[in-house]
Structure 1
Amino acid sequence: MTEIQNLYPKLVVADAAAAIDFYRSAFGARETARYTDDGGSVVHAEVTIGTFTVALKDEGYGDTAPTSTGGPPVIMALDVSDADAIEAAATNAGAVVVHRVRDQPHGGRAGRIADPFGHQWMISQRTE
């Protein structure tokens, strides 16, 4: 069986840069990663609060922030040793592929599935 290596929430926000500043000020967060698209939108950032990682991204690419929808969108993110195997196991168990696992420009392989209960799970594998 594929080993699960990490689990963390990924928050969708209207302004990731401002959210990182807020988490830094409010919770003493340390920014540990930030990736942006060509337009400058944050597609993935990570902060450490205490010993826990929280990821976040700007809304877009099909994801909306709670300030836009009134709901609490959180993407659960799994770091795994074999992203393709987890995607296959999840779809065999009834999940729907949102974004197929593929090589990512920031390195690694990643994709996303929606479980039968409406929750989305990002599956990522470090390759570099």
Structure 2
Amino acid sequence: MITFLKIFDLKTYIFTILAISSFSSFMVTSFGKTIPQIILTFFKRSRDCVILSAGLIFAFTWFLRARPHNRPKNYKVVPIDVFAKKCKIDGIRTEFKTHDVAWSFMKQYKQTYPLHNFALVSDLGNSDKPTIFRYI
């Protein structure tokens, strides 16, 4: 009976079982709850940073594109015949100071002279050729 108790010492087995169960509980808690929570918190915060930075980049690019540009001070209506050559029509006004007035006259000229096309152009300071704004 003594040899049986020495082989099956209850204290040793109890301590071994407690050590294994506490270590496995520690591992389950660490890998099941603590580490995933840390990783999820990191990705949630990084997601917020990515969204915020994307919004700031969008706002900055929009601000750069939305700032006022140099607008021309004079507009010209250029009549173009059916052969795609510039021509001159007597009796029409071709010089304008505002875009809207020039566009309105262009539409009226298109109805009056249906065989001609019209281009609304202006000279900008940064180019050698006139810039076409509208073409009908």
Structure 2 length normalisation: TM-score? 0.20
**Which is bigger in relative contact order (C-alpha 8 A, separation at least 6)?**
1
- Higher-Rg structure is 2
More helix by share: 2
Point out the structure with the larger strand share: 1
